[in-house]
Amino acid sequence: MRSSTPSKPFMPTRPTPAPSALPAGRRVRLAGILLSGLMALLGPVTATAAHAPDSDGGHASVNAGDVTVGILAPRGEAHTLAQWQTTLDALDDAIPRITLTARAMTLDGIAAAVAQGEVDFVLTNPGQFVLLGTPYALSWLATLRSNPANSARAALGSVLWVRAESPYRRAEQLTGQRIVAVHERAFGGYLLMRPELQAAGVDSDEIAVDFLGYPVDALIYQLRDGQAEAAIMPVCMLERMVSEGLVRRDDFRALATDDPLGGCVSSTPAYPDWTFAALPHVSEALTGDMARRLLAMDGEDTARWGAPVSAARVATLFDDLALHPLGEPLSTRLMDALQRYWHYSVAALVLLAMALMYHAWLQRKARRHGRALEATQLALRERERELADAQSLNVSGELATTLAHELNQPLAAIRHYAEGSVLRLQREAPDSPLLEPLSRIGHEANRGAGIIDQARQWIRRDAPAPERLPLHGLLDHVRALAQPRLKRLNVALDRSIQPDDLAVLGNRLAMEQVLGNLIGNSLDAFEAADRCGWIHIDARRAADPGQVTLTIRDNAGGFSPERLARPFMPLDTTRAQGMGLGLVITRRLLQRQGGDISVGNHARGGAEITVRIPSAEASQ
């Protein structure tokens, strides 16, 4: 443990200041920043379990390194650090992977440190554990039994002291007199004495209690010096001060005495001793090691610990006093927090007003551009429909070509078999009833071949007249068509065109279909791999001055070796919903325009498709 000795300096630490707020980002994120700031400012308002640190308290799970223990300091910082140094040194030595740092704190200081996650363990009275345990999910490791009563269950109480020569014999005689105490929620002080005073007929509103804070020694000194008529002290505290030679026992007398507690005068029933607890961000391993070391501790100079004692009696007391953290209605806690943090409330209202104004501005701007966006979307849908019709036509043609090739041979064979059978029957059995059916079979085979020939002629119709197509406009339009999928799949599409006015010679609809197919194939690959990435299109003049080369690259994983072996095989696809015609149709469209296509993979882990198309400059 960090101690006050030269070899291992022991000194309390101060809370690390919170990092400064980050500057606001882009204007389009202003609304989110305003709302985040609003939630942050409203954070202290609801002092409930919802604001307790989560499972890791906002920190990485603490298991080694510097570990901070917050210790309640009823007699001041120096006395507390000296009192617990030997115990914490023993824990430090028993668990080598940690270095303990002690912080002597007040009741309010411990509450604030726990709320902010500035400490890892706390050593405090059971009353404060009940107040903090539920909202902040503290883990109770052990209960102190190193007290005059040598008991973990019956150790704490309060005493109402007056001067020995004072005329007060009963508590109710103190009505209207100045009484001093540490804190209104000091367990082992005013908090335990309140029920006894009420039982004696003394209402808390009828007595003047001044809360002086720590150290508690100051209470006795004010009582001794006549500055107060009574002092509410923890059990055995006066006896300790007497043993230390600070005051004389004969100068004081106790009122409303109860059963003695460990040889000390008490005015209240006994309650469990102090609690050693861990915050939720401490790892289970370190929490377990700390609990085992505490329970095994039995040295002469160290504190002795017992198993955690039930805090049910303490919780019942808090319920009776309407102080339990779960007992107050939400409205009461909210109003209390609003009064305590009124400046945050004002700031929150200002932020809320700003957020509402910004929201109204965004709505107005959205309505202003709504009609223009709607018109653009209608135009894009119309263009998509045209491209879909063209693609459907090409798919039908490709299917017809394949069917024509595959069906011509069996149809020819059927026709030949039918004609041969007719000739044979005419020679051998001219009256056979099979002649007419066989003749019909031959006729239908001829008819089917004629239908296929007509389809083939339709597929081979002349290509439309080419036109000059600037690549900037062409790629802009294709990108606009693909933008919804690009955004949904989080894929970036960029292009590089050199020179800037580069143009190709071809049919606009066909080239849009070519580029749309290639970009669509890349997006299909990203979607199948469930990943995001990029698509890059590079356009430049080819080595042949009459050609333009377009290179489309992505990082979606590339083609498999099997696919590269036959990239233009019709109906060959790896996608469950695919038809295997995309590259086939693309090559056919390019070839009709005097171009060509090749496919491969690049070294960065993706596909690389090269398209060659006539340059518009070649026609000039």
Res 89: pLDDT: 92
Which residues, including other chains, have CB under 8 Å from residue 258's CB and lie 6 or more apart?
A: 157, 196, 266, 267, 268, 269
Mean pLDDT to the nearest integer, 296-305: 84
Average pLDDT of span 327-351:
74
At residue 405, the pLDDT reads 63
Q: Domain holding 442: CATH number?
A: 1.10.287.130
Strands (E), 90-214: 98-105, 121-124, 139-144, 158-163, 178-181, 208-211
DSSP string covering 6-33: SSSB-----PPPPPPPPPP--GGGHHHH
Q: What is the pLDDT of residue 393?
A: 55
Phi, psi dihedral angles at 441 (to 5 degrees) = -60, -45
Q: Which of 220, 255, 290 is the last residue of a domain?
A: 255
Cα-Cα-Cα-Cα dihedral sign, residues 510, 514, 517, 520: negative
67 in a structural domain: yes
What's residue 325's pLDDT?
A: 61
Task: Out of 18-32, 153-167, 263-277, pick the least confident.
Answer: 18-32
> In the predicted model, what is the mean pLDDT of residues 165-193?
86
Residue 358's nearest CA partner among 29, 2, 37, 5 is 29
The residue out of 255, 290, 318 marking a domain boundary is 255
Give the C-alpha separation, 241 to 76, whole Å: 14
Share of the chain above pLDDT 90, in %: 29
Kindly state whether residues 146 and 212 are assigned to the same domain. Answer: no
pLDDT of residue 12: 37
Pick from 172-181, 187-196, 483-492, 561-570: least confident: 561-570
pLDDT band at 42 (very low <50, low <70, confident <90, very high): very low
Task: Tell me which of 29 and 555 has the higher pLDDT.
Answer: 555
Same domain, 546 and 444: no
CA angle 380, 382, 387 (to 5 degrees): 90
Which amino acid is present at 469? L
Instruction: Identify the pLDDT of residue 307.
Output: 87
Examine the fold and report which residue of 459, 488, 505 is the final residue of a domain before the chain moves on: 459
Determine what percent of the chain is predicted with pLDDT higher than 70.
Answer: 78
Is the per-residue pLDDT at 248 higher than 60?
A: yes
Q: Is residue 242 part of a domain?
A: yes
CA–CA separation, 45 and 80 (whole Å): 33
pLDDT digits (tens, 9 = 90+) for 460-471: 555 567 888 999
User: Residue 40: pLDDT above 50?
Assistant: no
Residue 328, pLDDT score: 57
Q: Looking at the predicted structure, is the pLDDT value of residue 19 above 50? A: no
Residue 510 binned pLDDT confidence (cut-offs 50, 70, 90): confident
Tell me if 375 sits within 8 A of 383, measured CB to CB. Answer: no
Structure tokens at 357: 């104004």
**Residue 170, both tokens:** 């009963």
Closest CA to 69 of 20, 7, 141: 141
Indicate whether 302 belongs to any domain: yes
Residue 34 neighbours by CB under 8 Å, 6+ apart: 351, 354, 355, 358
Q: What phi and psi, each to the nearest 5 degrees, are found at residue 80?
A: -65, -45
Q: Is the pLDDT of residue 15 over 50?
A: no
Query: d(Cα 209, Cα 186) in Å, to the nearest integer?
Result: 13
Residue 536 token pair: 């890059």
- DSSP labels, 333-364: HHHHHHHHTHHHHHHHHHHHHHHHHHHHHHHH
Which tops the pLDDT comparison, 504 or 43? 504
Average pLDDT over residues 154-172: 89
Using the predicted structure, report yes or no on whether residue 44 has a pLDDT greater than 80. no
Compute the average pLDDT of residues 501-510. Answer: 86
Same domain assignment for residues 313 and 449? no
Whether residues 443 and 572 share a domain: the answer is no
Higher pLDDT, 303 or 5: 303
Tokens linked to 603: 């070294």
**pTM (2 d.p.):** 0.45
Taking the C-alpha atoms of residue 266 and residue 232, their distance in angstroms, rounded to an integer, is 11
Burial of 563 (0-12, 13-18, 19+ CB in 10 A): middle
User: CA nearest 506: which of 387, 586, 593?
Assistant: 593
At residue 558 the predicted structure's pLDDT band, cuts being 50, 70 and 90, is: confident
Return the bridge partners of 161, or none.
231, 254
pLDDT of 458? 42
Domain that holds residue 286: 27-151+273-340
323 and 387, same domain (yes or no): no
Banded pLDDT at 521 (limits 50, 70, 90): confident
Q: Give the per-residue pLDDT at 219.
A: 92
- The CATH number linked to 311 is 3.40.190.10
Enumerate the β-bridge partners of residue 264.
261
Q: Give the mean pLDDT of 226-249.
A: 92
CB atoms within 10 A of CB 351: 20
Q: What's the CATH code of the domain at 535?
A: 3.30.565.10
Once rounded to an integer, what is the mean pLDDT over residues 75-100? Answer: 92
Would you place residue 256 in the very low, low, confident or very high pLDDT band (cuts 50, 70, 90)?
confident
CA distances (Å), origin 617, targets 112, 469, 506 = 76, 11, 12
Query: Quick one: pLDDT at residue 323?
Result: 67
- pLDDT top residue among 125 and 509: 125
Bridge partners (DSSP) listed for residue 122: 70, 277
Confidence at residue 230, expressed as pLDDT on a 0 to 100 scale: 92
Let me know if residue 348 belongs to a domain: no
Q: How far apart are CA 494 and CA 618, in angstroms?
A: 27
Pair 142, 103 in one domain:
yes
pLDDT (mean) for 457-483: 77
Range from 69-78, 177-186, 455-464, 525-534 carrying the lowest mean pLDDT: 455-464
Helix/strand/coil (H/E/C) assignment for every residue in 538-575: EEEECCCCCEEEEEEEECCCCCCHHHHHCCCCCCCCCC
Segment 564-580 mean pLDDT: 63
**Is 333 part of a structural domain of the chain?**
yes
In terms of domains, do 403 and 284 share one? no
Q: What is the reported pLDDT for 313?
A: 77
Per-residue confidence (pLDDT) for residue 332, from 0 to 100? 64
Q: Which residue has the tokens 């903090």?
A: 132
The order of strands in the sheet holding 275-278 is: 98-105, 65-72, 121-124, 275-278, 139-144, 305-306
Same domain, 176 and 112: no
Bridge-based pairing of strands 230-234 and 158-163 is antiparallel
My answer on whether 393 and 539 are in the same domain is no
One domain, residues 44 and 119: yes
Find the DSSP H helices in 490-620. Answer: 508-529, 561-565, 582-592
Residues 109, 141 within the same domain: yes
Residue 292: pLDDT above 50? yes
Residue 66's φ and ψ, nearest 5 degrees, are: -75, 130
- Tell me, yes or no, whether 476 and 550 share the same domain: yes
Q: Which of the residue ranges 109-113, 189-193, 301-305, 425-429 has the most confident prediction, judged by mean pLDDT?
A: 109-113
Where is pLDDT greater, at 575 or 213? Answer: 213
**Contacting residues for 450 by C-beta, under 8 A, at least 6 apart:** none
- Per-residue pLDDT at 187 exceeds 90: no
Banded pLDDT at 7 (limits 50, 70, 90) = very low
Residue 70: pLDDT band (50, 70, 90) is: very high
> 3-state class of 595 per DSSP?
coil
Looking at 182-186, 203-207, 265-269, which range is the least confident one? 203-207
Domain membership flag for residue 352: no
What average pLDDT does this structure show over 333-349? Answer: 76
Give the total number of structural domains in the chain.
4
Give domain status of residue 267, yes or no: no
pLDDT of residue 17 exceeding 80? no
Is the pLDDT assigned to residue 417 strictly greater than 70? Answer: yes
